[in-house]
C-alpha cells in the first residue's frame, strides 16, 4: 500500500526515512509556517492537487507567522533567505531547502502528479501528521486548533496528532487519532530565534509517529487479509 504522508514540517520526510519508503508526498523538505494554512491544505488535499501552482520569492504579507515572529521567512542559520515559496490557492509553502524557483516548481509539480497517480490506484492511505511542538504559530486556544485538525471524514485518510495528555480528544474512529505522550506534558511554550518551541525534539516525535504508523499499517493489512 502506498503512503502519502503530509506534514507541516520535516517530520513527514523523517517518517519516510524510518519506514524506508519512497517520498510520494508533495510536502518534502518544506515548511508551512501558518498552521491554519496547513490544515486547509490537508482538508482540501485531493482538490488542491488539481489547482494551479505558482512560485515566488515573496511570501504573503501580514500572516499570523509574520505578525508573531516579525519575519516573513523562516529564520535559521542554515537557511538562505530568500528561498522559493510555492503558492497554491491561498496557501504559502516555504521550500526552505531550495534556492532556484524554476527547479522548485518543477520538483513540486512532479510530486503533485505522483500523488495524483497514486490516488488513482485506490491502493493508498493519506496520513496527515501534526505535532504539538511543531505548531509554528502561537494560539490563544490550542484545543481549538487541535479540534480543527482532527476533523477528517475521508475513508482513505488518517489524521494523527501527537501532543500532551491535557488536550487529548477521544475519537471513535481510526480516521482521527490523538496520540498523547508524557514528553509533551508541562513543557514550556517558549520559542527560540527561529520561532520554534524550544522543547521541540523531532527525533522523539518522529520515533513515536513512525511506530504508531507501523501498527496502523499492520492492522490494515490484517483486515484486508480477512
pLDDT tens column, 79-123 = 999 999 999 999 999 999 999 999 999 999 999 999 999 999 989
What was the pLDDT predicted at 6? 97
- pLDDT of res. 168: 94
Q: Are strands 53-56 and 85-88 parallel, antiparallel or unpaired?
A: antiparallel
Q: List the chain residues with pLDDT less than 70.
A: 172, 220-226
E strand or H helix at 142, and its extent?
helix 142-149
Q: Report the predicted TM-score, pTM, of the whole model to 2 decimal places.
A: 0.94
pLDDT of 220 reads 66
Question: CB count, 10 Å around CB of 186?
Answer: 10
Residue labelled with grid coordinates 497514486: 118
d(C-alpha 12, C-alpha 14), whole Å: 5
d(CA 20, CA 8): 20
Please tell me the distance from the alpha carbon of residue 36 to that of residue 169, in angstroms, as a whole number. 19
- DSSP secondary structure code for residue 99 in this structure: -
Amino acid at each position: 500500500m502506498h503512503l502519502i504522508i503530509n506534514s507541516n514540517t520535516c517530520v513527514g520526510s523523517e517518517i519516510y526515512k524510518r519506514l524506508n519508503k519512497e517520498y510520494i508526498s508533495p510536502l518534502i523538505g518544506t515548511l508551512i509556517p501558518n498552521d491554519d494554512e496547513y490544515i486547509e491544505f490537508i482538508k482540501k488535499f485531493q482538490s488542491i492537487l488539481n489547482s494551479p501552482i505558482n512560485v515566488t520569492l515573496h511570501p504573503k504579507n501580514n500572516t499570523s507567522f509574520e505578525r508573531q515572529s516579525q519575519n516573513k521567512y523562516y529564520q535559521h542559520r542554515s537557511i538562505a533567505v530568500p528561498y522559493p515559496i510555492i503558492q497554491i490557492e491561498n496557501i504559502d509553502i516555504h521550500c526552505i531547502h531550495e534556492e532556484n524557483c524554476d527547479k522548485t516548481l518543477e520538483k513540486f509539480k512532479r510530486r503533485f502528479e505522483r500523488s495524483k497517480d497514486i490516488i488513482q490506484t485506490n491502493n493508498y492511505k493519506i496520513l496527515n501528521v501534526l505535532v504539538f511542538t511543531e505548531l509554528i504559530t502561537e494560539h490563544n486556544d490550542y484545543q481549538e486548533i487541535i479540534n480543527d485538525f482532527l476533523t477528517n471524514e475521508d475513508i482513505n485518510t488518517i489524521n494523527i496528532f501527537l501532543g500532551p495528555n491535557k488536550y487529548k480528544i477521544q475519537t471513535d474512529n481510526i480516521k482521527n487519532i490523538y496520540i498523547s505522550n508524557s514528553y509533551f506534558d508541562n513543557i514550556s511554550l517558549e520559542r527560540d530565534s527561529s520561532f520554534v518551541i524550544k522543547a521541540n525534539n523531532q527525533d522523539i516525535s518522529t520515533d513515536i509517529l513512525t511506530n504508531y504508523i507501523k501498527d496502523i499499517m499492520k492492522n490494515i493489512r490484517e483486515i484486508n487479509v480477512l
